[in-house]
Amino acid sequence: MIDNLEELYSNIPPTKLRNQEEKFKPAKTSAFWMWVADRFFYGMIENRFFAFRYKGIENFENLEDNVPTIAFAPHSNWWDGIVGYNIITRLFKKEIRLMVEELNRFPLLRRAGAFSVNKKSPQASMRALKYAYEVIGDTNCMLYLFPQGIIKPPNFRPLEFQTGLAYIAGKAMKRYGKVNLLPIAVNYFFLRADRPEVLVEIGKPIVLDSSETSSIDRKEYTKFLEKTLEELCDGQDKNVSLAKFKGYKTLFQQKLRWYRKIEQRLKKIEVKGSGV
């Protein structure tokens, strides 16, 4: 438990902060464990959130078949990985591959598609980066990345990425000829319910094609990807602030609890002489 709110966020990755060695471990999925994870992670968000809503699914559905795809999203809290899992498995019907730091503390996550990364140094991270662009050669899988590389406060601006996403994308383009990059805005809002809602907006894909470009500048391309995701997230926030929800579909929505039902009934009661 952290008593000092100033200590909630650190710019130093956990593996570097704790200075602990962690050997690389790839994902190790199976039909049984994916079945378990699917129900467990869906149940988690269903129990904690009033609704899960999404828009822009056509941006995924219109992607060219058999082209590797990398989805990337902001990282502001503990729920992001669970939400990402449900985006990939429930909405996209793919197996997720998720880069997780300190995976040795949660080894069962490998069964759900997670693989480890050690951020003590660029050299230590390289095995995970190599695995990331190799594994998406299987287009039944999708890579889901948090390119900020570390949890940042909600709505942190400007978005600042590490160069890993651009590196993976460049290598994937050279290996497979083409790769899709799919920005995804994820945020958590209290709307009119007593629990928060998950709102997901899938942005327009970015296609890297080796027939059009032979290489990318990692630093410059990272800035472009930062701007792309930031604009998507800011657009989502603005629309929510203006109560513009057109296009959102619902993965689930809870039924009203008993006290909310009573509240709805009370609103319909007219008390004479009260002026109500």
pLDDT (tens digit per residue) in 146-182 = 999 999 999 999 999 999 999 999 999 999 999 999 9
Q: How far apart are CA 214 and CA 23, in angstroms?
A: 33
**Shortest CA distance to 78 belongs to which of 186, 234, 225?**
186
pLDDT value for 124 = 77
- 216 by DSSP, 3-state: which? coil
**What tokens appear for 196 in the block?**
């928060």
**How many helices and strands (H and E) does the chain possess?**
8, 9
pTM, two decimal places: 0.90
pLDDT value for 265 = 66
**What tokens appear for 213 in the block?**
């470009």
pLDDT value for 128 = 94
- Which residues, given as ranges, of the chain have pLDDT below 50? 274, 276
Per the CB < 8 A criterion, the answer to whether 187 and 80 are in contact is no
pLDDT value for 118 = 87
DSSP 8-state class, residue 182: E
pLDDT value for 175 = 96
Q: 164-176 and 122-135 are packed helices; what angle lies between their axes, rounded to 10 degrees?
A: 40
Per the CB < 8 A criterion, the answer to whether 30 and 38 are in contact is no
pLDDT value for 275 = 52
Give, in order, the Cα–Cα distances in Å from 54 to each of 36, 77, 156, 182, 223: 24, 19, 22, 14, 26
